[in-house]
A and B are shown apart, each in its own frame.
Chain A
């Protein structure tokens, strides 16, 4: 073991005394930081109300601190303590408005996550806590609460022939959701807590219909306004003021330039039948809260190429100059030499990558906020995680390049292969214009999978959004992506050891 320590020291001395390698490593970190700042300072947030430019609004924040969308039509009464609401949903229809210029028309149809049902909400402020039980257009009955939590009930949509009964009961702070096909046999969907007085009632909303084309930072997302309308009857309330009137609120609706709401929701009451329509969504805000980590780390692509060159030179220049003969004479166990090189290079590039990411992310975040982006603060724990994993991405790439250099011996070919393996799949996935499925496969199978470390926002199965690599959503979790890269690096180093052990230098 002491022997190996000496080998590592010898390799470290070699590395730090070659000016080009040290400068190259420093340059990789500096380029990463500068490019991140360059891109951030050239990203401008612009919002408009009609034709008037306005400061971008700050999205409401949910109970867990995440930005949310909280827009729906609400018909409600106050519930102080215990109580319940029972309804029957007999129909759900919708309209999708295709914007000009290509499709200036309104067609009937529902977006898959259009929602209609019963909800208990802690007041009518956007972002306040809630528990809701609903039917959706294509995802059956769902029980959702506090934006990020979603439980599935039975599948199938509603119609006049197959209505759905929903019941939300509160005992103490616990709300329980139940569904029934006939109002007689009830199935429990789930439960959640919501203490204090609540507004209890009916709601309808529908997210926009989305089409997405790729690109870093989200690419072009085309959203078509969609409105949903649902019919409720057999409305039963307990625990509220008997005979109380319904209050109505278009939660989250914003007036346009003329001072009126552009697409207001509404309710019509005829006897015991209420027809409610609304648009919007009750969900975490996905992909609209500003540029993410993958944008400010864009400089990594150049930093990685520089690191690849340094890593390859670290082994090939010794092979070429014949110094390896002396090295091997001094320490005949060849594989351990490669291991010592890997230790030194891995440590140096890990430090450089971590430092660069830890520096550029908060700096660029500040620049973006100064440019009007209302993105949430990145918690220190997230920053520490991303910075460390960025260091691992850089170190893993360096080790892959080291292995390739020792394996193919020719520096130019090794650099070409390493760049083609790590950088190009990422490039193709985010700006190659490929389908999301093809991009996802590239980022599962190639060493570029490790770019998944850039994802900081979770993907929500119950929110329709553009979950593409270009907008910061990767098919593998960060550790999975790093594992793929590590496997490739281990393979290259393994093959290189085999060759080094076998062949004459």
Chain B
């Protein structure tokens, strides 16, 4: 396993796209958070702005780059046919996928932590000027939102990896994952049947997973923070299992 890990790490490390994708995850996430924070203001008392959720808004766009990174780790090999070589050298395909998952998880954890800390710094610097209390890591719910956001990015990476292993085409994989993430919440918002809307939000990966960012007014949420992350984790696990089974059973 450690040799597999080393091999995957080397492959990813030497991929030119990774060298700009990793910093991009951080830059894009923090930049979007900065813009959102700058556009948030609170002129009257109790206007209901959630400092943590606003500061971490960049995760919504940053996750798209995490998806690209994850798809790249397997899609690149599928596209060039290198995957055949990989599987000849390491015939236990599940282990190869597991090694890829560990590398992707680790990279996303690192990039995600830096990005989330950057977002909080942005929120702390700019929110007080707009009349909102700054988010603080010593505050329990804010800490949960920050840790949860990093875990969210990791789980999104794993979800995308599983989908890419199953679909075998990186272009279509990116489209499928982004549609799953972004389109479902939009469709949910369009439905005015409150019960069905809650159900969709509870089971869609993005709305369920990002519930962890909410620190104020959490009572109206369709799902709790950790429970939402568990829903996303179930999505990621299901996608990885599907990917692994398909990798195992079909010719590549």
Contacts and interface: CB of A to CB of B under 8 A. Distances in A.
Q: Which 9 A-B pairs have the closest CB atoms?
A: A411-B171, A309-B175, A412-B170, A305-B179, A415-B174, A412-B174, A438-B39, A302-B183, A298-B190
Interface string A293-307: 001001101100110
Contacts of A432: 57, 60
Contact of B39 (A42, A215, A412, A435): A435
Contacts, number: 111
B182 A308 contact: no
B186 A430 contact: yes
Contacts of A419: 64, 174-175, 178, 182
B16 to A, nearest CB: 10
11 contacts: A38-B187, A42-B191, A295-B190, A305-B179, A410-B17, A412-B72, A416-B65, A427-B182, A430-B186, A431-B189, A432-B60
Interface in A196-225: 215-217
Interface stretch (A146-154, A312-320, A346-354, A456-464): A312-320
A316 B169 CA distance: 12
Nearest to B39: A438
Given A43-B192, A216-B189, 6 more contacts: A35-B187, A217-B192, A305-B182, A424-B60, A430-B189, A435-B39
A481 interface: no
B251 interface: no
Interface in A285-342: 291, 295, 298-299, 301-302, 305-306, 308-309, 312-313, 316, 320
A320 B79 contact: yes
B13 to A, nearest CB: 18
Contacts of A107: none
A495 interface: no
Contacts of A301: 182-183, 186-187
B219 interface: no
Interface of B: 17, 36, 39-41, 57, 60-61, 64-65, 67-68, 71-72, 75, 79, 169-175, 178-179, 182-183, 185-187, 189-193, 196
A228 to B, nearest CB: 24
B67 A416 contact: yes
The range of chain A's interface size is: 35 or more
A224 B174 CA distance: 46
Contacts of A505: none
A35 B175 CA distance: 18
Contacts of A438: 39
B187 A39 contact: yes
Nearest to B49: A433
A380 to B, nearest CB: 25
Given A316-B171, A415-B171, A305 B189 contact: no
Contacts of B183: 301-302, 305, 423
A424 B192 CA distance: 22
A162 interface: no
Given A412-B68, A416-B65, A430-B189, A302 B179 contact: yes
A61 interface: no
Contacts of B75: 412
A431 B171 contact: no
Nearest to B57: A432
